[in-house]
Amino acid sequence: MQHYFIDNSLKLNETFLMSDDISHHFISVLRANNGDKFEIVDDNHHLFIAEVIDKDLNKAKIIEQKNSSVELPVDVTIICGLPKKDKSEWIVQKATELGVNHIIFLQTAWSIARWKNNKVLKKINRLNKISKSAAEQSHRNQIPDVKYIDSINDLDDTSYDQKLIAYEESAKQGEHADLINSFKNTNPSDKVAAFFGPEGGIAPDEVSKLKENGYQTCGLGPRILRTETAPLYFLSSISVWFDLLN
């Protein structure tokens, strides 16, 4: 069943107009007819089953509300130093499928990539479209938001319950306990942030700055992971710990 999002609230038995994006994809591309059903999530993250009642006028009706949720029990933010080429798109797509809630890209001292100021907005708009598409494909109840900030100094760290740095030096030293201990100390609905360096790695003074702000270094297993792989490893570990083992 197709899965879409809408920007307003819905309720049972309500008739509504499908957005242009939904009607184009469901009616024009997939050739849906009156009586065909689809899933839709409103701006309160409520999931409904809707039925097309007039495809020519883009009208649909809510016929059922579903209480199931596929969201992670913790709120996860990944913070990534700018990766090269189109790796940011890969990270957004796959991280969304794995349950991330927020994604922040930022310029770091050793970032090889640079996002020009006049292109940042266009880049972020595209990444948010990728996030929405991936959320629809994976039947999420929430679309992760994607943001860009200029430096570590612009990070708002006050709202996180757990703050981690995926640090390759910790991985080299075989340090895994900090990651597991952070999971053990995380409760449902807690907010978790994890920082990942770009291809050039994280500069020592940036690690120090993050530690001053309450971040803790941790290893992600014994192998050194690429910048686009590390966030996905972390999200997979979160899912195993909180979805499968609890």
Beta-bridge mates of residue 102 = 77, 145
Q: Looking at residues 141-145, what average pLDDT do you find? A: 97
Mean pLDDT estimate for the chain: 92
Name the residue among 45, 47, 46, 99 with its Cα closest to residue 37: 47
Looking at the predicted structure, is the pLDDT value of residue 56 above 80? yes
Beta-bridge mates of residue 162 = 192
Tell me the two tokens of residue 51.
Answer: 């039925």
Contact by Cβ (8 Å): 116, 82: no
Percent pLDDT > 70 in the chain is 96
Residue 86: what pLDDT? 93
Tell me the two tokens of residue 48.
Answer: 């409904």
Residue 143: what pLDDT? 97
How many CB atoms are closer than 10 A to CB 28?
A: 10
Q: Looking at residues 144-172, what average pLDDT do you find? A: 84
Helices (H), the chain: 20-22, 87-97, 117-137, 168-172, 177-184, 204-212, 230-239
**Is residue 232 left, alpha or beta, with left meaning phi > 0 and alpha meaning psi from -120 to 50?**
alpha
The model's pLDDT over 203-237, given as tens digits with 9 standing for 90+, comes to 999 999 999 999 999 988 888 889 999 999 999 99
DSSP output for 73-115: SSEEEEEEEPPSTTHHHHHHHHHHHTT-SEEEEE--TT-S---
DSSP at 189: T
Q: Looking at residues 66-79, what average pLDDT do you find? A: 93
Residue 117: what pLDDT? 84
- Which carries the bigger pLDDT value, residue 167 or residue 120? 120
Q: Looking at residues 188-195, what average pLDDT do you find? A: 95
Least trusted range by pLDDT, from 25-39, 87-101, 143-157:
143-157
The residue behind tokens 């570990």 is: 237
Residue 174: what pLDDT? 52
3-66 matches 75-244 in fold: no
Q: Is 46 helix (H, G, I), strand (E, B) or coil?
A: coil
Looking at the predicted structure, is the pLDDT value of residue 176 above 70? no
The model's pLDDT over 82-107, given as tens digits with 9 standing for 90+, comes to 999 999 999 999 999 999 999 999 99
pLDDT category at 145 given cuts 50, 70, 90 is very high
The model's pLDDT over 177-188, given as tens digits with 9 standing for 90+, comes to 788 889 999 999
State pTM to two decimals: 0.92
Residue 175: what pLDDT? 59
Q: Is 223 helix (H, G, I), strand (E, B) or coil?
A: coil
Residue 162: what pLDDT? 94
Percent pLDDT > 90 in the chain is 78
Could you tell me which CATH number the domain at 75-244 has? 3.40.1280.10
Where exactly are the structural domains of the chain? 3-66, 75-244
Q: The domain at 3-66 falls in which architecture?
A: Beta Barrel (2.40)
